[in-house]
Structure 1
Amino acid sequence: MILSRTPHRISFFGGGTDYPEYYREYGGKTLGVAIDKYSYLNVRKLPPFFDYKHRIVYSKQENVVNLDDIVHPSVRETLKYMQVNSGISIHHDGDIPARSGMGSSSSFTVGLINSINALNGKMSSKDELTQKSIHIEQNLIKENVGSQDQAFAAHGGLNIINFLQNGKISVTPIIMKKNRMITFQDNIMLFFSGISRTASDVVVEQINKTSINVPNLNKMKDLVDEAHDILISNRNLNEFGELLNTTWELKKSLSSKVTNKQIDDMYNRAIKAGAIGGKLLGAGGGGFMSFYVEKENQEAVKEALHDYLYIPFNFDFEGSKIVVYEPNYKDK
């Protein structure tokens, strides 16, 4: 039996520049952090006693004989890509709901690759998990997704991620003094809008408008370096929050589906209550919203958004990991 744990992420800056349609031409860059909200996968080989060969349990349960009959796209394409022939049982539990802008689908795929490798007695490198999950999601499932979620899920940490025109991806940890890191972490608040949506559907318009959006995407990419300088220097961390406002305004220009009346109202209420800045996570249209709020104003922001779910969290610096490894060495 294998139990894997893979983090979700908060993307602060550069989202949108991690889509191949953009970075293959101009190069992309994002800044974000993995958090201690996880996708858990319990994976084991299934004994041949049942009238089905594979069992997949998530919000639904699937009992199938052939891989092609699996409905869950990530499970189906990952098992086929990794040439899984033996019967397998996959049970998923997650801290964050799907379709919420926290990279849940990529966390699932990264964790599944990690788990299957472990089941076969193989360790996975962070880069392997990143590249294979991107290939499965973008090329096999053919989802309209970017490439940062997979990297944060695999690597964990507070990072700048560069997406090169040749397709390569480099992950650079951001080094901060401990007390400054703690202050920064404690000033990020996370709220769930209650709206779930499929990122692949929301982002179609944005991808189709890539050529039109290039100037604003370039500006969003430049903000990554500005945000990085704020974090590693002695500048006031409140500037990070102010910069979130800037990237949020740019993000809204990318597609008509990024925001809506409810999201705008949620954002305005938080700012009025004392949040310095914030942005919607993921492609847009719903999911989670993060805000930069100094400690003394956090209770006021909670009260202003009392009808939304507040999610406390800490940063995760481990990335996808195998937390239980109990292989059956007699199982060939």
Structure 2
Amino acid sequence: MIIAQTPFRMSFFGGGTDYEGFYREHGGAVISTTFDKYCYTTVRHLPRFFDYSNQITYGIIERTKTIDEIQHPAVRNIMKYLDMHELRVVYEADLPARSGLGTSSSFAVGMLNACYALKGKYADKRKLADDAIYIERVLCNEAGGIQDQIAASFGGFNRIDFRDDGYTVTPLVFSTDRKKDLNNRLMLFFTGFSRFSSDIAKNQVKATKDKTAELLEMKALVDDVQKLLVSKADLKEFGKLLDYTWKLKRGITSDISNNDIDILYKKAIDAGATGGKLLGAGGGGFLLFYVEPEYQENVKKALEDLVYVPFEFENEGTRIMYFRPEYFDLESVKEGS
């Protein structure tokens, strides 16, 4: 049995520039962090006592005799990709799926990590990120960018640059006190809406060519924010830039925001938030705000109908938190197929 713990991420700046159609031509960059809310992926071989060969639990329970019968696209394709058979897979998480935190990519990274461990193989963070990108974007044919898989695998507060020939992960180095001050000024709220980010991403891909100027400006903000964080500038500028990048992003397609989200955003700003954004592709999920300490109670009260989620930045990325190797006779499966 293997249990992998994989963090969720929040992307601050540059989201949308990690889409292949954009970064291959213009380059891309994001600033993001992982934080202390996780998904847990348990993988073990299913004992041969049942009339089914695989059991996948993730809100529903799938029991199948073949891999092709598995409905969950990531599980089905990871099992095929790594030649895995007769598995019991359990997904659990601290926060809801389809909520703008890269949950599907965290699951893909975590399951890959667990499956490699179950096979007795080591996969480094770049290998896990690359494999997760291939699984989701190629084998599952899901639209979207590639920052989520990288963030979940590497962990930490990073700048990620995307180029035609690959990507670079650069940890942002600024003082512990300054990072703590930033953490303490960020407030996370769950709107209660959930959506499939790949559906919204399809429209963003279509809009990319028409919104190149906006995306280039969003990319340029990454440089500005990096300089801000490593300097002694007032952190309040971070909040102002969040507001600015949100206004840029919501202009890319009409799917990114809606009237309900706009009302919630205005309530927070009126209560004292400096700026904020909807995390992920848009359409629902989590709202993140930069709020100076003296206004935080006001913002909580203004958004009292939403779930407030305290959090702390984390640095580890995906990891194996429990490892008990199992013997599995793969040849007997292949002989019987």
- Normalised to the residue count of structure 1, the TM-score between the two structures is 0.98
1:205 is displaced (CA, Å) by 1.6
Kept after mapping to 1: 8 A contact 2:13/2:30: yes
Q: Which runs of 5+ in 1 are unaligned?
A: none
CA RMSD of aligned residues (A): 1.0
Aligned residues: 330
One-letter amino acid of the counterpart of residue 309, structure 2? I
Structure 2 counterpart of 1:41: 41
Kept after mapping to 1: 8 A contact 2:137/2:144: yes
> What are the Cα deviations for residues 86-127 of structure 1, in whole angstroms up to 9, with x where unaligned?
311101101111111000000000000000000011122110
Task: Determine the C-alpha separation between the residues in 2 that align with 1:43 and 1:133.
Answer: 17
Structure 1 counterpart of 2:56: 56
User: 204, 209, 212: which is aligned to 2:210?
Assistant: 212
Question: Aligned to 2:314, what secondary structure does the other structure show?
Answer: coil
Structure 2 counterpart of 1:223: 221
Structure 2 counterpart of 1:95: 94
Structure 2 counterpart of 1:20: 20
1:330 is displaced (CA, Å) by 7.3
Structure 2 counterpart of 1:201: 199
1:329 is displaced (CA, Å) by 4.7
Structure 1 counterpart of 2:319: 321
Question: Aligned to 1:298, what secondary structure does the other structure show?
Answer: helix
Structure 2 counterpart of 1:66: 66
Q: Structure 1's 330 and 203: CA in aligned 2 closer, same or farther, altered over 3 A?
A: closer
Kept after mapping to 1: 8 A contact 2:257/2:282: yes
Structure 2 counterpart of 1:125: 124
One-letter amino acid of the counterpart of residue 150, structure 1? Q
> What are the Cα deviations for residues 178-217 of structure 1, in whole angstroms up to 9, with x where unaligned?
1111101111100011100001111222111111111100
One-letter amino acid of the counterpart of residue 36, structure 1? D
Question: Aligned to 1:236, what secondary structure does the other structure show?
Answer: coil
Structure 1 counterpart of 2:160: 161
One-letter amino acid of the counterpart of residue 33, structure 2? V
1:316 is displaced (CA, Å) by 1.2
Question: Aligned to 1:297, what secondary structure does the other structure show?
Answer: helix
1:10 paired with 2:6, answer: no
Kept after mapping to 1: 8 A contact 2:105/2:149: yes
Structure 1 counterpart of 2:108: 109
Moved segments of 4+, more than 3 Å: 329-332
One-letter amino acid of the counterpart of residue 210, structure 2? I
Task: Determine the C-alpha separation between the residues in 2 that align with 1:178 and 1:199.
Answer: 33
Question: Aligned to 1:123, what secondary structure does the other structure show?
Answer: coil
1:257 paired with 2:265, answer: no
Q: Structure 1's 145 and 330: CA in aligned 2 closer, same or farther, altered over 3 A?
A: closer
1:328 is displaced (CA, Å) by 2.4
Question: Aligned to 1:11, what secondary structure does the other structure show?
Answer: strand
Structure 2 counterpart of 1:145: 144
One-letter amino acid of the counterpart of residue 199, structure 1? S
> What are the Cα deviations for residues 285-332 of structure 1, in whole angstroms up to 9, with x where unaligned?
101010001111111100000001100111110000000011125766
Structure 1 counterpart of 2:266: 268
> What are the Cα deviations for residues 226-245 of structure 1, in whole angstroms up to 9, with x where unaligned?
01111110000000000001
Task: Determine the C-alpha separation between the residues in 2 that align with 1:23 and 1:78.
Answer: 26
Task: Determine the C-alpha separation between the residues in 2 that align with 1:117 and 1:198.
Answer: 28
Question: Aligned to 1:15, what secondary structure does the other structure show?
Answer: coil
Task: Determine the C-alpha separation between the residues in 2 that align with 1:68 and 1:25.
Answer: 37
Kept after mapping to 1: 8 A contact 2:144/2:202: no
Question: Aligned to 1:96, what secondary structure does the other structure show?
Answer: coil
One-letter amino acid of the counterpart of residue 139, structure 1? V
Question: Aligned to 2:16, what secondary structure does the other structure show?
Answer: coil
Task: Determine the C-alpha separation between the residues in 1 that align with 2:116 and 2:270.
Answer: 49
Question: Aligned to 1:8, what secondary structure does the other structure show?
Answer: strand
Q: How does 1:162-201 map to 2 (within 5 A)?
A: 162-166=161-165, 168-201=166-199
